């Protein structure tokens, strides 16, 4: 069943954000991911001013509880050290001073989300500064940033400064027609580095599966391996694929 897939954007840790509500639901999500061919995940609970910002201790203890439950249930999904989905807001800007925002395990890359309607000022320059500091910014669900990604030559520039992720569900046709059409056009233009489930509950896997089918059909089997296995590993290591 394993296809060596690795998910670097999902909300599988129990009780931390608007993702899985308890360990039972997390185990069910993990079981579904294994069925889809995943071996391991890097959880990314929200980090957002005024809503969810679980601390390092809270994230680690949720991960430990889930690992224990998966072992008891015999579900072979590796839960790596939790990262976070950092909204580019005042909390992120505050943490930027000491680079204290949550990062992936290698500390070389970190996940970012933007307000859908408005990109931060001087975005490209800011992203480049992270690269100069030795870190790789990873942009979540770029298909939602309709203004930012309307000009594909601008997206080409972004591709040199950050790793760009797309949600599988959007490729599968979910999330409104503008968003899913943008996701597909970006993927067909080769402007996406990796695809993720962004799963909040087991129900989200149906749409993720639709996205996997779309990739196989329109981009080919090799693209599925590249976007769900090879490239996520490069991103975790801090490289732009
Ligand atoms: Fe997310």
Cα(42) to ligand 1 centroid in Å equals 12
Cα(57) to ligand 1 centroid in Å equals 20
Cα(41) to ligand 1 centroid in Å equals 13
- Three-state SS for 166? strand
Cα(68) to ligand 1 centroid in Å equals 24
Cα(196) to ligand 1 centroid in Å equals 9
What is the H or E stretch that residue 65 is in?
helix 56-73
Angle, in degrees to the nearest 10, between helices 177-188 and 204-218? 40
With beta carbons less than 8 A apart as the criterion, state whether 199 and 29 touch. Answer: yes
Cα(20) to ligand 1 centroid in Å equals 12
Cα(220) to ligand 1 centroid in Å equals 26
With beta carbons less than 8 A apart as the criterion, state whether 2 and 190 touch. Answer: no
Cα(18) to ligand 1 centroid in Å equals 9
Cα(140) to ligand 1 centroid in Å equals 7
Q: How many CB atoms are closer than 10 A to CB 217? A: 9
Cα(117) to ligand 1 centroid in Å equals 17
Show pLDDT as tens, one digit a residue, over the chain (241 residues).
Answer: 789 999 999 999 999 999 999 999 999 999 999 999 999 999 999 999 999 999 999 999 999 999 999 999 999 999 999 999 999 999 999 999 999 999 999 999 999 999 988 889 999 999 999 999 999 999 999 999 999 999 999 999 999 999 999 999 999 998 899 999 999 999 999 999 999 999 999 999 999 999 999 999 999 999 999 999 999 999 999 999 9
Cα(85) to ligand 1 centroid in Å equals 6
Cα(198) to ligand 1 centroid in Å equals 5
- Please give the Cα distance from 10 to 111 (Å, whole number): 11
User: In this predicted model, what pLDDT tens digit does every residue of 1-60 receive, in sequence order?
Assistant: 789 999 999 999 999 999 999 999 999 999 999 999 999 999 999 999 999 999 999 999
- Please give the Cα distance from 34 to 76 (Å, whole number): 7
Cα(8) to ligand 1 centroid in Å equals 10
Domains of the chain: 5-236 (3.20.20.140)
Cα(12) to ligand 1 centroid in Å equals 10
Cα(203) to ligand 1 centroid in Å equals 15
Which residues have CB atoms below 5 A from the ion given as ligand 1? 85, 198
Specify the pTM.
0.97
């Amino acid at each position: 069943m394993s296809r060596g897939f690795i998910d670097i954007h999902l909300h599988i840790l129990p009780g931390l954000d608007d993702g899985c509500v308890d360990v039972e639901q997390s185990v069910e999500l993990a079981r579904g991911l294994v069925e889809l061919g995943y071996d391991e995940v890097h959880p990314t609970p929200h980090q957002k001013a005024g809503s969810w910002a679980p601390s390092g201790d809270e994230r680690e203890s949720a991960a430990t509880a889930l690992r224990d439950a998966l072992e008891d249930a015999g579900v072979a999904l590796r839960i790596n050290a939790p990262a976070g989905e950092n909204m580019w807001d005042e909390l992120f800007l505050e943490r930027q001073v000491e680079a204290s925002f949550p990062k992936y395990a290698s500390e070389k890359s970190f996940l970012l989300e933007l307000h859908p309607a408005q990109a931060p000022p001087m975005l490209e320059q800011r992203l480049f500064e992270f690269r100069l500091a030795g870190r790789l910014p990873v942009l979540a669900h770029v298909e939602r940033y309709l203004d930012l990604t309307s000009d594909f030559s601008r997206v080409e520039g972004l591709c040199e400064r950050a790793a760009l992720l797309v949600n599988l569900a959007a490729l599968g046709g979910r999330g409104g027609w503008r968003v899913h059409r943008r996701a597909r056009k970006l993927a067909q233009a080769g402007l996406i580095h990796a695809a993720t489930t962004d799963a909040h509950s087991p129900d989200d896997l149906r749409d993720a599966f639709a996205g996997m089918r779309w990739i196989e059909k329109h981009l080919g089997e090799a693209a599925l391996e590249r976007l769900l296995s090879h490239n996520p590993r490069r991103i975790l290591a801090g490289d732009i694929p």
